[in-house]
Structure 1
Amino acid sequence: MIESELISKVRKGDALAQKQLYQLLAPTLFATCLRYTKSRYEAEDFLQDSFVKIFQNINTFRSDGPIAAWARRITVNTVIEEFKKRDLLRESHDLQTHGNHLADNSVNVLSDLSCQDLRNLINKLPNGKKVVFNLFVLDGYNHKEIAELLNITEGTSKSQLAKAKELLAEMHRTQNENARQITRKY
């Protein structure tokens, strides 16, 4: 079935079409939810909340782009809204004193990581830094959009991103050093 036909049926309340749309989008949207949380259980909750909003707002979807991109935006916003409710994004705004400097080697250190290893490291970041990193690096938001979405300044967004990259590089170096020490023992 063509995407436009599927959406038309979903708009009319067709349960089979809703199920098909869910099956089409759920794997990608679940992966998006997992990037923002450490728990599959929490990611499943975010996914369910996202689909409720997707189905409630399907009539606002304009067919000028793919449904997947529209649904992903709703999913990211749903996760961010929930984090705001739980106050999980609040971090010291002293981060701006850190500045926006990021040594190039912090990024280079991460380039040899597999996707799974990088995902594991990202999940270890504090929530505020993890959300900014995901929004900027993986979801393609710019600092102005992130600032508006999270109710922070652009400078805070930039400094949280820089700190996230530095923490990721530091965690990766620590992992490598631990692996070398274990190897030397044997």
Structure 2
Amino acid sequence: MKVINLHQEENEVIALAVQNNRQAQQWIYSKYSPRMLSVCRQYIKDLQLAEDVMITAFMKVFVHLDRFEKRGSFEGWIRRTMINECISYIRVQKKVQFIEDSVDFEEMDSETEIQFSVEDIQNLIDSLPDGYKVVFNLFVIEGFKHKEIASMLGITEGTSKSQFAHARRILKSKISNLKNQEKNY
């Protein structure tokens, strides 16, 4: 059994992990699991379920580690696996449906600044219907384009834009309500 020096290059650790070296796999898991749990939590409200999905996704990471082509960042590759696993989980468990309709894309105004904690923001996003939440996270948090989101979710680009517009409208309304509550106190 080889001992892994903590300062080894990540590529060396990846190469060892491809060979099923458990210490290398543990190093990868330990390094990336906190951030990946946050990614899964963005899509799945229940922390324990998010952790289960993350563990399942890490198993897929290790099974398919030889497919990592070292063109982009390793963390980005793992993150994409996490997102795909979250989407799969949501589809299977919740049977999310995306309703196609056309909505004009409006810009969100930033007339008044209000500060929210990360928990407040996550709770606002969690309150969205699942379809809206998935598209919102993919667009705003992950930075995917609507065309990419449409391809990932098996929907049209227009549906992606519509889901995002609805999510934004709901969030804008909830933020307005919070602002009004804050003014009244």
Please indicate, yes or no, whether the TM-score normalized by the shorter chain is above 0.5: yes
Does the 8 Å CA contact 1:132/1:161 hold for their aligned counterparts? yes
Whose RCO is larger (CA < 8 A, sep 6+)?
Answer: 1
**Size of the alignment, in residue pairs?**
177
**Corresponding residue SS for 1:64:** coil
CA distance in structure 2 between the aligned counterparts of 1:142 and 1:111, rounded to whole angstroms: 27
CA distance in structure 1 between the aligned counterparts of 2:81 and 2:114, rounded to whole angstroms: 32
Choose the corresponding residue for 2:85, options 78, 102, 122. Answer: 78
Residue 60 and residue 177 in structure 1: after superposition, are their counterparts in 2 closer, same or farther (change >3 A)?
same
Alpha-carbon displacement from aligned partner over 1:36-63 (angstroms, at most 9, x marks no partner): 1111011101111110100010010111
Q: Which residue pairs with 1:92 in the alignment?
A: 99
> How far apart are residue 28 of structure 1 and its match?
1.0
Match for 2:106: what amino acid?
L
Q: Which residue pairs with 1:51 in the alignment?
A: 58
Q: Which residue pairs with 2:116 in the alignment?
A: 114
Is 1:101 paired with 2:108? no
Choose the corresponding residue for 2:128, options 114, 125, 129. Answer: 125
CA distance in structure 1 between the aligned counterparts of 2:60 and 2:14, rounded to whole angstroms: 15
Alpha-carbon displacement from aligned partner over 1:10-45 (angstroms, at most 9, x marks no partner): 011111111000011101111100111111011101
CA distance in structure 2 between the aligned counterparts of 1:109 and 1:35, rounded to whole angstroms: 27
**Corresponding residue SS for 1:104:** coil
CA distance in structure 1 between the aligned counterparts of 2:172 and 2:111, rounded to whole angstroms: 6
Match for 1:16: what amino acid?
Q
CA distance in structure 2 between the aligned counterparts of 1:115 and 1:139, rounded to whole angstroms: 20
**Where does structure 2 lack aligned partners over 5 or more consecutive residues?**
1-7
Is 1:19 paired with 2:16? no
Choose the corresponding residue for 1:152, options 151, 155, 158. Answer: 155
Does the 8 Å CA contact 2:98/2:159 hold for their aligned counterparts? no
Does the 8 Å CA contact 2:18/2:65 hold for their aligned counterparts? yes
Match for 1:114: what amino acid?
F
Choose the corresponding residue for 2:16, options 9, 18, 28. Answer: 9
Give 4+ residue runs of structure 1 displaced > 6 Å after superposition. Answer: none
Match for 1:149: what amino acid?
M
Residue 103 and residue 70 in structure 1: after superposition, are their counterparts in 2 closer, same or farther (change >3 A)?
closer
CA distance in structure 1 between the aligned counterparts of 2:177 and 2:117, rounded to whole angstroms: 18
> How far apart are residue 115 of structure 1 and its match?
5.3
Match for 2:138: what amino acid?
L
- With normalisation by structure 2, the TM-score equals 0.89
RMSD of the alignment, in Å?
1.7
Match for 1:152: what amino acid?
I
CA distance in structure 1 between the aligned counterparts of 2:139 and 2:90, rounded to whole angstroms: 17
User: Identity of paired residues, percent?
Assistant: 32
